[in-house]
Every structure is written in C-alpha cells, then in structure tokens.
Amino acid sequence: MHLTIFANSLTVALISEHVAFLKSTLDRAGAEYTLEETSSQIIINMPANTNYVGLPSRLSPKIKPYFNADLFSYPQDIIVQAKLEGKPILPAVVMSAADSHFMIAEAIVKGLASGDANSYYQTGIEKAMDLWGGVDSSALSAYLASDMGQLTGSNDQKLEKIATQRWIANYTNGYEAWAIVRDTGYPTSAYSTVTASESSIKALGSPLNGAYPQRLRYNSDVYGTNQANVEASNAVQGPDVMATKLWYAK
C-alpha cells in the first residue's frame, strides 16, 4: 500500500508532533512500513494485509487527517455485519470464561479469595485467545513467559495487568470495556485525563474537558415524561453530566 498525506489536505503545514505520534503508533504495533517526510508531505509504504495496527481513541480533529483509515486494521466481517441480513455475526458475549478467570485472579490479589492468582490469570489469557480461535502452543507459551503474560510485580501492577487483559478480552462488549476502565482506571492510555497541552493530539471531549466519561446523561424524553423524578435523582446523585460518578462508584 502506498499512501501520501499532503500538507494542503491538512490545511496547515505538517506538524512535527503529529508526525511523531503517527510514527510512534505504528512502531508500538510493530508495523512493517517505510515513511518519507518532506516539508509538504508524508509518503508511507506498507505491505497489504500484514500489520495489525489499532486506531488510537480520543483523537483530536487536528490530528485525524494524518490517521488515514488504510493504515489501520479493520474488524473481521463477523464483528461488523448487521443483524437480520442473513450474514454470520458474532454471538453476543454476556460473560466470557476469560473474564471470570481474570475476576477470580483480581479477588485473590485483593485478598478476597484464596488460590493461585497467576494460574487464574494465565488461564484467562488462554481462554481469551480461544474465543478467537486460539494460537499455536509455542506462541501461547512465549506470551505467557512475557512480562504481560505473568502476574508479577506489586499489587497495583498486578491489578493493572488484570484490568488491561479484561479490557482486551471485552473487545466486542463496549459497555463492559468502558466499565472496566471507569472502575479501575486501567489501561491508563484509555482513562488518563487529556490536558490542554495535549489537545492537538487527544480531544478534550467538551464538556468533559479531557476527563474520562463516568456515565451517560438522561435524554430529553426522560425529562419530558418524568422530569420531577429525574430532578430528584440529580439532587441526590449529582449533576446530570458525563463527569459525575455513578452513585455506586463514589
């Protein structure tokens, strides 16, 4: 694949920090590519159907023109195909075996249960891979021998690893993945507050002003049909804004 990004398509000159963020995104994914940069354009060559590169979330509109969709991986058809069209779709996963093992590992680390937390953690990783057809035994063994494949470190580091693996395992369950980040603060790349100095890379998400969303707002229909009770609830739980923590998370 050959892709050229011109400065005139960005309406401004190429910005070095935007180019650097694009490079770091591709490099972190281990992508095979070459990049040639001039004062007016970026030329990227990348082999087709080779790399697995995820598109970063919460990107600022200022940097989005650099992140051409062709540079990133598309979900499998079974994930994105619509219902009731006669095409195969992925079954909805309410609770996966992987998630249950990760939560047991978390309970053990927190002292709420007994057992071998690392064993449950590694079984959770294996079950998460099995959901997508699994991997060969040598690849699995190599991953389980890596730092992220072992539940080592301080308790906080262990909890971060568990939460991150749960977040990955809930790839097709957006609400649960959001809840994991909201509850644990991990992975930090998803939860961290965006500051004004980063606003050319990450969107502040007004009116959140860079904070991670804690809840959904009540819609106008609820106010129209049940306003008195909505206002009473808001008086107890806090303002009806996305930054207000859920009552059970305070």
User: Has residue 250 got a pLDDT over 80?
Assistant: no
Token output for 93: 């996963």
- Coil/strand/helix, residue 158: helix
Residue 76, number of CB atoms within 10 A of its CB: 11
Residue 173 — φ and ψ, nearest 5°?
A: -120, 85
Average pLDDT over residues 6-15: 56
Q: Please name the residues in contact with 160: beta carbons below 8 A apart, sequence gap of 6 or more.
A: 184, 186, 187, 188
pTM of the model as a whole: 0.82
User: Has residue 11 got a pLDDT over 60?
Assistant: no
Q: What is the pLDDT of residues 27-81, one digit of tens each?
A: 999 999 999 988 778 889 999 888 999 998 888 888 888 898 889 998 889 888 8
What is the structure's pLDDT at 220?
93
Average pLDDT over residues 97-125: 98
- Residues 203 and 194 sit within 8 Å (Cβ to Cβ): yes
- Residues 42 and 68 sit within 8 Å (Cβ to Cβ): no
Q: What is the pLDDT of residues 204-226, one digit of tens each?
A: 777 777 788 899 899 999 999 99
